[in-house]
């Protein structure tokens, strides 16, 4: 089975699993939250954390279908799997026409532009997604893709990446600063594919509005995620999100990058100012800034503790059914040791790490998950028949958990980056999980892009991590083999199997 088909099959299973869970929890899948979801509760769950601007209550709403009209901007130099470094400015018109401006760079600071793309087309919003709750599905029709290269060196560099059929007719006509239509010529389509070009991200959209207590309003546009496997990206239908773009009208202030991106054009790409690279120090407690979405029906928050002196870490991943992280399903607490490696060659500014997971504890937070775990055979997953809602079980005695795909101990190859937010508070970027749910258990599978950044709660707090054991999620990075994604997929498959008689018919 190809990876694509496997992913498709898994998604089908997920969907059925979701229906099963919904049925079990008494809620209906088609009861999609419309407006006025209340996020205050989730924020309150992090009492020990300094929430900076989130300290005051923030209410988050997400309309379905979303209102896309307006311009949406990158707030920093973005990293996509590959890696690719880019900034984006997308404008949606009330006529449903859109123009997506993408600027690609040679460096991780977005200082040296290589080429820009102007993508025009029409977007029609469809129904609420049944796979990714809270998202709306959309259909796109592209009408044109124009490329502008920004230097002769950039042209050479692009040429070296593209197949000969594409380089011949097109690249020779490419002059720095001059727009060239890539879409309407036959060779051009080949070039787009070879460049890894895809606008599948527009197939899944969500707009979140944060209402801050002092009347401030911030709007973010979440678009579908990009597959971490280059060969899958042009036909992957997203089920998770990229880092959001912010509304040109309602964004977090100050945002110097937004202003530069807003004023840019395909002829004048934004050149981001050089930033001091903070040296990487993991010490302390890092937590998710908001409810995060992973491909394949997964909502979670993460929390990590690092103790550099002991080279010890703990990660807590709390999983939920819904996009506001209010209905818990299960919590994973993983811990072990880590070693810092070399600065990354592929992603300058990032650092390589190796994590070892030696202990995993699981808490089933709802009836469905409890029943699922309780059915495992003796010796395979904690103490058989002893699973109870809200009661944590260690998996060490059974060297992991066969049905969950957790094998202990486990090793993962990671990529970390420390950066600063607009208030110069530290942010920790942890490598993106492989989209297919596998684990980065080999050097070659090490991430080249990142998940949503974590914020530092306190660098000086020294309480033992277990103190928060009932609280949050940690990072999956270290979750060995069974990264949370994989774990969940396996959960899905396992649960799905109880319904096998009708699942595999599809
Ligand atoms: C959100 O929740 C908080 C705390 O539970 C409550 O005080 C507030 O009224 C709620 N807001 C809405 C709009 O439901
Ligand atoms: C778990 O399994 C045991 C033994 O089969 C059973 O007595 C118990 O009621 C089960 N608990 C749950 C929550 O299903």
- Chain segment 279-334, per-residue pLDDT in tens: 888 999 999 988 999 887 679 999 999 999 999 999 999 999 888 888 899 999 99
DSSP letter at 381 equals: B
What is the 279 CA–ligand 2 centroid distance (Å)? 50
Ligand 2 pocket test, pick from 366, 374, 382 with the greatest ligand atom count within 8 Å of Cβ, gives 374
Residue 168 has a pLDDT of: 61
Is 90 exceeded by the pLDDT of residue 337?
yes
The more confident residue out of 106 and 173 is: 106
Ligand 2 pocket test, pick from 385, 388, 389, 390 with the greatest ligand atom count within 8 Å of Cβ, gives 385
Residue 236 has a pLDDT of: 93
Is 60 exceeded by the pLDDT of residue 478?
no
% of residues, the chain, pLDDT over 70: 76
Mean pLDDT of 365-370: 92
Mean pLDDT of 151-163: 83
Pocket of ligand 2 (CB under 6 A): 370-371, 374, 385, 388
pLDDT tens digits for range 393-422:
999 999 988 877 788 899 999 999 999 887
Confidence of residue 338 (pLDDT cuts 50, 70, 90): very high
**In this structure, how many other beta carbons lie within 10 angstroms of the beta carbon of residue 423?**
9
Q: How many residues does the chain have?
A: 506
Q: Which ligand is nearest to the CA of 372?
A: 2
Distance CA 428, CA 417 (A): 6
Is 70 exceeded by the pLDDT of residue 15?
no
Helix axes 367-374, 3-25, angle to 10 degrees: 120
Tell me the HSE value of 374 on the side-chain side, using a 13 A CA sphere.
14
Q: Which atom of ligand 1 is nearest to the CA of 38?
A: 1
Confidence of residue 51 (pLDDT cuts 50, 70, 90): very low
% of residues, the chain, pLDDT over 90: 50
Q: Which ligand is nearest to the CA of 45?
A: 1
Averaged pLDDT of the chain? 79
Is 50 exceeded by the pLDDT of residue 197?
yes
DSSP letter at 90 equals: E
Confidence of residue 170 (pLDDT cuts 50, 70, 90): low
Confidence of residue 69 (pLDDT cuts 50, 70, 90): very high
CA dihedral angle for residue 489, residue 494, residue 496, residue 497, rounded to 10 degrees: 140
Residue 167 has a pLDDT of: 63
Residue 458 has a pLDDT of: 62
Residue 112, token pair as written in the block: 């040296």
Ligand 1 pocket test, pick from 59, 61, 212 with the greatest ligand atom count within 8 Å of Cβ, gives 59
Asked whether 213 lines ligand 1 (CB < 6 A), one says: no
The DSSP result for 257-320, as a single string, is HHHHHHT--SSS---PPP---PPP---EEEEESS-EEETTTEEEEEEEEEETTTTEEEEEEEEE
> Rounded to a whole number, what is the distance in angstroms from the first to the last CA of the chain?
15
What is the 374 CA–ligand 2 centroid distance (Å)? 6
Mean pLDDT of 376-402: 91
Mean pLDDT of 239-254: 93
Asked whether 165 lines ligand 1 (CB < 6 A), one says: no
Residue 459 has a pLDDT of: 44
What is the 204 CA–ligand 1 centroid distance (Å)? 28
Q: Which ligand is nearest to the CA of 60?
A: 1
Distance CA 137, CA 37 (A): 20
Distance CA 125, CA 133 (A): 15
What is the 40 CA–ligand 1 centroid distance (Å)? 7
How far are the Cα atoms of 94, 172, 288, 299, 476 from residue 302, in angstroms, in the given order?
Answer: 37, 49, 5, 10, 8
Mean pLDDT of 128-153: 92
Closest among 90, 25, 46, 491 to 294, alpha carbons compared = 491
Confidence of residue 101 (pLDDT cuts 50, 70, 90): very high
Which residue's CA is minimally distant from atom 2 of ligand 2?
385
Mean pLDDT of 152-176: 76
Is 80 exceeded by the pLDDT of residue 24?
no
Residues near 220 by Cβ (< 8 Å), separated by ≥ 6? 207, 208, 210, 244, 245, 246, 247
Confidence of residue 31 (pLDDT cuts 50, 70, 90): very low
Residue 314 has a pLDDT of: 95
């Amino acid at each position: 089975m190809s990876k694509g088909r496997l992913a498709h099959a898994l998604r089908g299973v997920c969907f059925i699993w979701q229906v099963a869970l919904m049925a079990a929890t008494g809620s209906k899948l088609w009861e999609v939250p419309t407006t006025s979801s209340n996020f205050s509760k989730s924020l309150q769950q992090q009492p020990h954390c300094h929430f900076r601007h989130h300290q005051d209550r923030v209410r988050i709403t997400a309309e379905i279908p979303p209102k896309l009209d307006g311009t949406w901007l990158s707030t920093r130099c973005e990293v996509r799997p590959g890696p690719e470094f880019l900034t984006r400015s997308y404008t949606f018109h009330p006529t449903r026409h859109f123009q997506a401006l993408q600027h690609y760079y040679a460096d991780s600071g977005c200082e040296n532009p290589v080429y820009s793309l102007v993508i025009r087309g029409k977007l029609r919003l469809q129904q609420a997604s049944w796979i990714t709750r809270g998202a709306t599905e959309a259909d796109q029709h592209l009408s044109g893709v124009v490329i502008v290269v920004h230097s002769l060196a950039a042209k050479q560099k692009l040429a070296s990446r593209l197949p000969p059929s594409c380089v011949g007719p097109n690249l020779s006509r490419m002059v720095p600063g001059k727009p060239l239509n890539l879409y309407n010529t036959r060779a051009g389509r080949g070039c787009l594919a070879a460049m890894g070009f895809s606008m599948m991200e527009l197939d899944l959209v969500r707009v979140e509005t944060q209402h801050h207590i002092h009347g401030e309003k911030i709007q973010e546009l979440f678009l579908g995620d990009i597959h971490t496997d280059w060969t899958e990206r042009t036909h992957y239908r997203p089920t998770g999100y990229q880092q959001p773009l912010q509304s040109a009208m309602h964004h977090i202030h100050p945002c110097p990058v937004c202003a530069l991106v807003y004023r840019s054009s395909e002829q004048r790409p934004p050149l981001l100012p050089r930033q001091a690279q903070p040296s990487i120090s993991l010490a302390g407690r890092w937590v998710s800034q908001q409810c995060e979405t992973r491909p394949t029906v997964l909502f979670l928050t993460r929390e990590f503790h690092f103790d550099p002196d002991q080279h010890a870490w703990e990660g807590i991943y709390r999983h939920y059914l819904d996009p506001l992280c209010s209905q818990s399903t299960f919590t994973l607490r993983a811990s072990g040791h880590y070693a810092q490696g070399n600065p990354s060659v592929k992603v300058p500014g990032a650092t390589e790490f190796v994590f070892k997971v030696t202990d995993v504890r699981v808490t089933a937070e709802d009836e469905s998950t409890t029943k699922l775990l309780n059915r495992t055979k003796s010796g395979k997953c904690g103490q058989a028949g002893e699973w109870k809602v809200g009661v944590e079980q260690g998996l060490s005695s059974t060297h992991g958990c066969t049905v969950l795909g957790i094998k202990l101990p486990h090793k993962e190859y990671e990529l970390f980056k420390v950066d600063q937010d607009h208030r110069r508070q530290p942010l920790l970027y942890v490598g993106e999980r492989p989209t297919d749910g596998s684990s980065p258990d080999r050097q070659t599978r090490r991430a080249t892009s990142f998940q949503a950044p974590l914020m530092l709660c306190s660098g000086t707090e020294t309480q033992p991590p277990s103190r928060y054991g009932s609280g949050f999620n940690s990072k999956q990075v270290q979750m060995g083999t069974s990264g949370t994604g994989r774990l969940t997929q396996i959960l899905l498959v396992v649960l799905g199997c109880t319904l096998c008689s009708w699942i595999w018919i599809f």
